[in-house]
Structure 1
């Protein structure tokens, strides 16, 4: 039997080799995380002292002379240094008898005989034995691309379209990475016989569906791609009641959703799904864009009554760990056919981490940026810009989905959530949605229910997530952060729309989000003046009458250089400073605006500041307050006392933070007690002095005149710090240095984290 080792990347090949050798030598083989291996891909013990070492070279397409050159010039010295009791060499290349003799000579005397040299023929022969099929099945990609399984797949596919689908699936298997989603999908399918894979575009619904299908086909299921032709599937069901059949439907309902429901085909579909639920010899895998399934569910009482969603498995990018993402990226790069110079760009300065950690990480984008056929005439030096642009421009994924597959009402809920900084309570979203429908022209489209309850069900689990925060209370967040980027980039010039969204939200959060979007140019900054004038006309009198000082400060701060609204800003400031006990938490913005309008503002006193400096902990705001107090020579004792308390709280917070680094070890003296146990002395004064010196550096930039006025000294902060508690916590986490075993350099302690290890180049 032939196995296609080309579908494995180098890491996967090493895992396979370790499994084979473990079974061959009947000893446990240790495998280590990916990375620089010092010539070791696996290790087993011969007795208690001697090591057996496994080295793998997945050089399938590498010319034999190049392999020999690498072994002579690099690997042989590593083996001498390791001095193993036995050395086993495994390669995916075909090897002749003469080739093996040459390799044995290179590694003399560590390779005992040629049986410890494994080439492609040896691997195929071993894996073809019935007793070793467990190894094949554990190595998923090897299993599903074996000649026996592929023949089985083709022969078990219903003729025509199903065979074509199998061919397409086979071509993509080499890029597949098994994650927790694979196991969960298999579990749902095993328990329910039906699974509906849903999620955002590009999340990997079809890829997972393909591989769940292949898994069951290899287990004896015939494959039927029905493309929603339920009649065809029902006929096949009736004719083969005893046969194991897997039905497959990618993009369930899709563009035919309304036709399916209006013509009562929903009953037909549900009856078929329920038949499969009750028959263990049949399986049904479906994929659906979440918004389509939501819409169908809202329109079809049959879908609701028969609980079609009990079979749903929602795929989310949060389900993927950083290691999953790293393996997905690495696998795509490995099989990409990208020129080496382009791959170097991804490795430069460990840029692969930027891709993995990017909030728009998505398997479809990864496939897009590593597809050598899409690069065209791009020069290597422009490749990173191409990658960044692809990650930062979510239009690639969201354009068709958002604009063509949803209606204005679903889009409205999305707009509102985006401009509330991606999170909003259910009550606020409901109120904002109803207001938005009243003040903004909305195309209601069909005659379906447009109430908040109806529309939020359509948006939930496609563009939004609904999370319970406490009993009977919910909040909505964006299904994926890239939705916000798409909305901003697409509608940044729609001033009327943006203003109506913010008016409907009526929240400081939305004003802040708008401001941040203008500053970052996600919304065209040249529009800020017109947006501010529009919002001022709508909000100003209402908020001034209600003395909503925080909202007005946020609104003014959007653009307080706007001449058309200067008079109203002056009115607001004069009203604020003369109000009885005004309060708020936007001191930084207030001081900035006051400084700009200072000539027009007449301060009688500064008591209005009392309730604005009640909770100020960030450095920039404190420094701005110090400068303001000095500029106006404020002598109010209550204000000065507040400043003193806030400064101490701020500095104590710094000392308690993880960023404050004190070297406790140099203040500890260890000694051996006469009774035999170890003990230590602590130089408390030394620690206090080091903390004081460090705090003094944090005081740079604070106005010294104000510091003198409040009689401040860092010793007053140090006196309130629990030094003893810090020493105890330090000792609890203290690990003294010790000598490493001479072999530790290759057992995964490279100093690199697991992601770096995956991308480590040999």
Structure 2
């Protein structure tokens, strides 16, 4: 594999040169001051000999620029008088180029063979492949690896372009968290990367996932546990990635309760599979709250704490490298960089108590740079660290027209993972028309296209047909900015989808935007979208993949739950009436996976004297939901879903009534009668193990004879053996985290050495 080195920064290239030429010559190079004179990047000194290494990262630059830089370096080389001088450069060289450089270097060059261009460096990388793999940024930049990553992402829920991956690689600063994450992942097959917003959790998780992809693993990025269970396959090496798996808003206890058991089940399945790895990210405060209120996450037997890696504490060296990398690849002018250094702001930024990679990214590439002069750059950078919310405040309020703010509001309440342009247009059109009419501002049919054009590149990314915020810090800003009770009432009235309206509702609760006196009036704003809950589709056909359907909106059980919440808050019976229409529709079939446990919970909460029992029409709704649960149990239901429903019924059997208990018993017996069809498409052993546990639990509850149970277990074991025949246990990944040993010392001189190539125009 040949590398172009374009994704490496000057500092990265220096590190690579020291590692490679040190291995080739059998010496260990120490770092050496760079400085404005052209610099020396490595030296090895003994009692009577001095070997000097210089690295010049000039990929894509004209040869004249490299030659000029070498001329500037000559006085420094003459002073040192090395016994041997080595030059490594990323600039392609001809024999004539080497001869020209030899003349600039002078007598200190023993041979032109000591000038290493890209061809010679690639030869050394083939000779020492462990160095290539240990240099993660270089390894992932290889053409074959990049193509593999792009191909893998195209088969996940999102599309990642080569350009996006390369841009992330350019600013990534390898750090010890990568090694720690890889080790945890190999030890327990699961790593939960936790930390405050903006510290690089997602970047670390992506780099880890990409490294596994480069080692031949199948990438499975998921948005829900439904995706994970559906795609788990013991016959294939799989790396699962679930970003922000607990969400970004304050936790709803009941919502967590309906998902945490599925999470623990999936964790156990991954842990039991030799061919699966699971990488999750979450914000630290939300994760701690989840552990506090979740019975399953707090389970001592699961011991979830051993999978958690807290990130965000960076050494001074890593902080400096992150800042350096962002400045090196951003559009920040040379004048700004020089002014930033001369204002003495760089060490203050690196050492700031609020240092955060997300702020670094925002202050080196974004609309907030529009009015920042070189002279004020250092002060503005420090102000952003002092008060992170101001990063987007001025540009959001003053630099974009009203229609653009409306589009960003619409995007904020769409999925955290992005939304299609078509879906965003629907949300925008409704909201924009409502707000423009209410406040008598101009609006027209082309406003969506115009708003997208203005925002793209500065506020939003468009990848294929998917729109996302350009930087998560913009979402963080809007979380705090959207705090007007009147605005959220308008947002509620403009909602077009159930899940969008739920996010608005959750935001209202999390921010406590409606006082008790305004709740009743405020929640009635949801009536318009609530009336559409009966017809809004739950699933949608995938336009890009024939025959594939995806979850598109809240499940019908989730809609009923949301309607009851609104009814309780507003004391408005219309929400219960709509919920009853949903549940009483005989043609509607509720999904056991998404709604099995929820239906049981709703029946219990709707009984007289319970949470929703006092609502007008509660009994009629309860009966309709009970009918749906019975229909579900009488239909085709897999052992896992039935086992979960049985769990949710425990202790409430009498409350649920005879019809439900009878249907449950019939469903458990049917598991033995339909076993062959139930396991026909199962392709992982851990799922089959769960099936065995489930039927062993069902058998004594419904009087299944021992010989029938034995045959059923044997049938499942036979299916497991078939999977084992075509499966092989995955070996640990072959990529090492690093072969370099960084010194803990990183003083102001080291900081100056690092930034010299940027400050003095050597990048």
Conserved? CA contact 1:252–1:287, under 8 Å: yes
Q: Which residue of 1 aligns with 2:24?
A: 24
Q: Which residue of 2 aligns with 1:570?
A: none
The whole-number CA distance in structure 2 between the counterparts of 1:166 and 1:286 is 23
Q: Which residue of 1 aligns with 2:76?
A: 78
Q: Deviations over 1:121-173 (max 9, x none)?
A: 2222332x2x4111112222111111232233234446153553886444311
Q: Which residue of 1 aligns with 2:67?
A: 68
Partner of residue 281 from structure 1, selected from 267, 275, 278:
275
Q: Which residue of 2 aligns with 1:54?
A: 53
1:187 aligns with 2:183: yes
The whole-number CA distance in structure 1 between the counterparts of 2:42 and 2:97 is 23
Q: Decide whether aligned partners of structure 1 residues 56 and 748 sit closer, same or farther in structure 2, where only a CA change above 3 A counts.
A: farther
The Cα of 1:70 is off from its aligned counterpart by 2.7
Q: Deviations over 1:153-206 (max 9, x none)?
A: 234446153553886444311111122322222222121211112222112111
1:231 aligns with 2:226: yes
Conserved? CA contact 2:33–2:750, under 8 Å: yes
The whole-number CA distance in structure 2 between the counterparts of 1:75 and 1:345 is 24
Partner of residue 93 from structure 1, selected from 87, 91, 94:
91
The whole-number CA distance in structure 1 between the counterparts of 2:747 and 2:177 is 30
Q: Which residue of 2 aligns with 1:409?
A: none
Q: Which residue of 2 aligns with 1:375?
A: 369
Q: Deviations over 1:289-328 (max 9, x none)?
A: 23433444444323333646425535354x2222222222
Q: Decide whether aligned partners of structure 1 residues 442 and 307 sit closer, same or farther in structure 2, where only a CA change above 3 A counts.
A: farther
| SS of equivalent residue, structure 1 residue 213 | helix
The Cα of 1:285 is off from its aligned counterpart by 0.7
Partner of residue 315 from structure 1, selected from 299, 310, 323:
310
Q: Which residue of 1 aligns with 2:142?
A: 146
Higher relative contact order (CA 8 A, sep 6+): 2
The Cα of 1:63 is off from its aligned counterpart by 2.1
Trace 1:293-372 onto structure 2 (pairs within 5 A): 293-305=287-299, 307=302, 309-313=304-308, 315=310, 317=312, 319-371=313-365
Number of corresponding residues: 421
The whole-number CA distance in structure 2 between the counterparts of 1:759 and 1:262 is 46
Q: Which residue of 1 aligns with 2:40?
A: 40
Q: Which residue of 1 aligns with 2:612?
A: none
The whole-number CA distance in structure 2 between the counterparts of 1:404 and 1:312 is 35
Trace 1:454-533 onto structure 2 (pairs within 5 A): none
| SS of equivalent residue, structure 2 residue 30 | coil
| SS of equivalent residue, structure 1 residue 76 | helix
Trace 1:518-597 onto structure 2 (pairs within 5 A): none
| SS of equivalent residue, structure 1 residue 242 | coil
Conserved? CA contact 2:324–2:755, under 8 Å: yes
Is the radius of gyration larger for structure 1 or structure 2? Answer: 1
Q: Decide whether aligned partners of structure 1 residues 112 and 285 sit closer, same or farther in structure 2, where only a CA change above 3 A counts.
A: same
Conserved? CA contact 1:40–1:54, under 8 Å: yes
Q: Deviations over 1:98-133 (max 9, x none)?
A: 111111122232223221111122222332x2x411
1:136 aligns with 2:132: yes
The whole-number CA distance in structure 2 between the counterparts of 1:345 and 1:181 is 32
TM-score (norm 2): 0.50
Conserved? CA contact 1:57–1:92, under 8 Å: yes
1:245 aligns with 2:238: yes
The Cα of 1:226 is off from its aligned counterpart by 0.9
The whole-number CA distance in structure 1 between the counterparts of 2:33 and 2:134 is 18
The whole-number CA distance in structure 1 between the counterparts of 2:332 and 2:744 is 29
The whole-number CA distance in structure 1 between the counterparts of 2:199 and 2:748 is 29
Q: Deviations over 1:624-666 (max 9, x none)?
A: xxxxxxxxxxxxxxxxxxxxxxxxxxxxxxxxxxxxxxxxxxx
Q: Kindly report the root-mean-square deviation, in angstroms, between the aligned alpha carbons of the 2 structures.
A: 3.6
Which stretch of structure 1 is more off in the superposition, 368-377 or 190-199?
368-377
Q: Decide whether aligned partners of structure 1 residues 167 and 753 sit closer, same or farther in structure 2, where only a CA change above 3 A counts.
A: closer
The Cα of 1:347 is off from its aligned counterpart by 0.1
Trace 1:93-132 onto structure 2 (pairs within 5 A): 93-127=91-125, 129=126, 131-132=127-128
| SS of equivalent residue, structure 2 residue 278 | strand
Partner of residue 168 from structure 2, selected from 169, 172, 185:
172
Q: Decide whether aligned partners of structure 1 residues 223 and 53 sit closer, same or farther in structure 2, where only a CA change above 3 A counts.
A: same
Conserved? CA contact 1:336–1:370, under 8 Å: yes
Conserved? CA contact 1:52–1:85, under 8 Å: yes
Q: Deviations over 1:442-480 (max 9, x none)?
A: 9999xxxxxxxxxxxxxxxxxxxxxxxxxxxxxxxxxxx
The whole-number CA distance in structure 2 between the counterparts of 1:388 and 1:224 is 39
| SS of equivalent residue, structure 2 residue 68 | helix
Conserved? CA contact 2:84–2:108, under 8 Å: yes
Q: Deviations over 1:539-588 (max 9, x none)?
A: xxxxxxxxxxxxxxxxxxxxxxxxxxxxxxxxxxxxxxxxxxxxxxxxxx
| SS of equivalent residue, structure 1 residue 93 | coil
The whole-number CA distance in structure 2 between the counterparts of 1:99 and 1:260 is 69
Q: Decide whether aligned partners of structure 1 residues 404 and 202 sit closer, same or farther in structure 2, where only a CA change above 3 A counts.
A: farther
Conserved? CA contact 1:198–1:288, under 8 Å: yes
The whole-number CA distance in structure 2 between the counterparts of 1:255 and 1:341 is 38
The whole-number CA distance in structure 1 between the counterparts of 2:518 and 2:55 is 63
| SS of equivalent residue, structure 2 residue 756 | coil
Q: Deviations over 1:399-421 (max 9, x none)?
A: 5556889xxxxxxxxxxxxxxxx
1:390 aligns with 2:384: yes
| SS of equivalent residue, structure 2 residue 281 | strand
The whole-number CA distance in structure 2 between the counterparts of 1:248 and 1:270 is 16
Trace 1:603-752 onto structure 2 (pairs within 5 A): none
Q: Which residue of 2 aligns with 1:201?
A: 197
Conserved? CA contact 1:32–1:748, under 8 Å: no
The Cα of 1:42 is off from its aligned counterpart by 2.0
Conserved? CA contact 1:104–1:111, under 8 Å: yes
The Cα of 1:65 is off from its aligned counterpart by 1.4
Q: Which residue of 2 aligns with 1:711?
A: none
Conserved? CA contact 2:33–2:40, under 8 Å: no
The whole-number CA distance in structure 1 between the counterparts of 2:256 and 2:151 is 38
The whole-number CA distance in structure 2 between the counterparts of 1:141 and 1:316 is 19
The Cα of 1:20 is off from its aligned counterpart by 1.8
| SS of equivalent residue, structure 2 residue 2 | coil
Q: Decide whether aligned partners of structure 1 residues 279 and 32 sit closer, same or farther in structure 2, where only a CA change above 3 A counts.
A: farther
Q: Decide whether aligned partners of structure 1 residues 5 and 216 sit closer, same or farther in structure 2, where only a CA change above 3 A counts.
A: same
Conserved? CA contact 1:247–1:283, under 8 Å: yes
The Cα of 1:759 is off from its aligned counterpart by 2.6
| SS of equivalent residue, structure 1 residue 197 | strand
TM-score (norm 1): 0.50
Q: Deviations over 1:331-356 (max 9, x none)?
A: 22122231011111210132101112
The Cα of 1:374 is off from its aligned counterpart by 4.2
The whole-number CA distance in structure 1 between the counterparts of 2:64 and 2:122 is 23
Q: Decide whether aligned partners of structure 1 residues 748 and 264 sit closer, same or farther in structure 2, where only a CA change above 3 A counts.
A: closer
Which stretch of structure 1 is more off in the superposition, 32-41 or 370-379?
32-41
Q: Decide whether aligned partners of structure 1 residues 275 and 358 sit closer, same or farther in structure 2, where only a CA change above 3 A counts.
A: same
The Cα of 1:82 is off from its aligned counterpart by 2.4
